[in-house]
Every structure is written in C-alpha cells, then in structure tokens.
C-alpha cells in the first residue's frame, strides 16, 4: 500500500511572509513562496496521520479537506510544531480521543502548556482529550499496518524525533545526527529534511549542510522543508539544486 504525503506547511517558525516584512521573498507573488508552519499529512488506505500540528493546523485541515485524523506524531515541543493542538476538537467530537505519539519530554511539555486537554479534574465540556503513546528512540511502532521507525537528531541541544515509514523519512529542525541514527534512513526513496537558509544557524541545517546530509543518506529523492524567506525565491533556489533534490512547497503531494 503506497504512502501519500501532503506538505501542509513548509515554513519556518514565523512562516513566510513574515509579519510586517518588506523582504523581497515576503512580497513574492509566487504561491510557492508563501509557507505555513511546517507539517505533513500522511495517508494510505483508510489511515490519516499528521506529523506536528502548529498554529496553522486549522487552516491546513480545511485547505486539504481532512475529515478524519487517526493521530498526531510530534517531532518536539516547540510552538510552531504544537500550538494547533486545540484545533483537534472537531475530530475529537466525531471520533473520541485523538492518539498522539511523542517523546516523554514532549508529553510533559504538552501537559504543562495545554493542561485543560490532559487534566482529568474539572474538565471544560468542550475540551478535547487525547490517547498518549510514548515514542522511544530505538523502538519502532505500528500505525494501521505500517511500521514507524523513530529517528533521533539534535536541534541545537534539544533531542527531536523524525520518522521513517516504509521508504519515506521525515526530519525537521535537525542540526546534527549520530551515525547510528543516519544508518536507519540510508537509501530511503524519499527524504524530507530542513534547509532553513544559506547562512549558518545554531540549531538548523542551512542549505549547504542539508545538501551534505542528502549526499550522506543517498535517498532516491530529497525535499527540503522548514524554509525561511532568507533561503531565497523558490524558483531561483530550486534551479541551483541537484537533479534529485527539490524545495517542498505548501500543498505539494507526493507518493512513495
């Protein structure tokens, strides 16, 4: 059963355009230069999952006509990856508890920030609830017939998870990764990884680092995401990339 990937958002934490910015990329008329916060929708047969749910989650669900949500896989707890969790309510009202998959540290952070979702006392009647599933570094888990392999990386000093499902690997907010984790994803057909900008950054791959990482992993194809306006215009940057490397853009759909 093939895996369909829809890029719900491909932008950095501020999105593109950045509020109030006069940068040329922020003023671009090219729809590919307009980027919501980073997330993907994964679908196969009767399954529908998202990786991360940032502040644009509601808009992304409506734009892509998502009517069922089987679960959310979290990479880490930063706001641009979690702030939309309240908007699971329409799914909860129809389906009941929404499964979430995350590291124990991320679960703790979600419980602190969104205590009304996780609290069992004096619950507000309109609050959603979730079914918690802990993700561990070297333990694969099953989602409706597909094995999911967690891949750990460092976002500066913060441990984050990416995920390999079949021959598809999704990584974001990566700066460094240990060799044994890279081995998990070598040779996959499609790799998605962050490429923030051309200049170096303390917690994200820049373009050069992302290209070096692709050369190390050697996927069939690679798509860059978590892109800021400082990377440049989509059309110009993509022309400079190797033949099997592309810039992802919002609402792009691929199959693996």
Q: For residue 122, what pLDDT band results from cuts at 50, 70 and 90? A: confident
Tokens of 150: 């967690």
Residue 200: its pLDDT value, please? 96
Whether the per-residue pLDDT at 10 is higher than 90: the answer is yes
Residue 125: its pLDDT value, please? 85
State the sign of the Cα–Cα–Cα–Cα dihedral 72, 75, 78, 81. Answer: negative
Residue 24: its pLDDT value, please? 98
Residue 172: its pLDDT value, please? 98
Q: Count how many domains the chain has.
A: 1
**For position 162, which CATH number holds?**
3.60.15.10
Q: For residue 123, what pLDDT band results from cuts at 50, 70 and 90? A: confident
Q: For residue 253, what pLDDT band results from cuts at 50, 70 and 90? A: very high
Residue 185: its pLDDT value, please? 96
Provide the domain limits for residue 147.
Answer: 4-255
Calculate the average pLDDT of the chain.
97
pLDDT digits (tens, 9 = 90+) for 44-57: 999 999 999 999 99
| % the chain with pLDDT above 70 | 100
pLDDT digits (tens, 9 = 90+) for 171-201: 999 999 999 999 999 989 999 999 999 999 9
Extended strands (E) in the chain: 4-9, 39-44, 47-51, 71-73, 98-102, 130-134, 141-143, 146-155, 158-165, 168-170, 190-194, 221-225, 245-247, 253-255
Tell me the average pLDDT across 86-111.
98
Q: For residue 14, what pLDDT band results from cuts at 50, 70 and 90? A: very high
């Amino acid at each position: 059963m093939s895996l369909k990937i829809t890029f719900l958002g491909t932008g950095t934490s501020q999105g593109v355009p950045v509020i109030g910015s006069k940068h040329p990329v922020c003023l671009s008329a090219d729809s590919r230069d307009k980027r919501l916060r980073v997330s993907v929708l994964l679908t196969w047969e009767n399954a529908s999952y998202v990786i991360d749910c940032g502040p644009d989650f509601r808009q992304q669900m409506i734009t892509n006509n998502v009517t069922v949500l089987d679960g959310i896989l979290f990479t880490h707890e930063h706001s641009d990856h979690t702030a939309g969790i309240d908007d699971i309510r329409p799914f909860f009202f129809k389906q009941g508890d929404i499964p979430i998959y995350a590291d124990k540290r991320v679960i703790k952070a979600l419980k602190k920030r969104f205590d009304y979702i996780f609290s069992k006392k004096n619950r507000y009647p309109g609050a959603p609830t979730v079914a918690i599933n802990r993700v561990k570094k070297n333990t694969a888990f099953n989602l409706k017939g597909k094995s999911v392999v967690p891949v750990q990386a460092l976002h500066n000093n913060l441990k984050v998870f990416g995920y390999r499902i079949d021959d598809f690997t999704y990584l974001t907010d990566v700066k460094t990764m240990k060799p044994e984790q890279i081995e998990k994803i070598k040779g996959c057909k499609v790799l998605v990884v962050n490429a923030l900008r051309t200049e170096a950054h303390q917690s994200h791959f820049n373009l050069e680092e992302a290209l070096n990482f692709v050369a190390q992993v050697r996927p069939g194809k690679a798509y860059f995401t978590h892109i800021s306006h400082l990377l440049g215009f989509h059309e110009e940057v993509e022309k400079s990339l190797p033949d099997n490397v592309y810039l992802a853009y919002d609402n792009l759909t691929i199959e693996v």
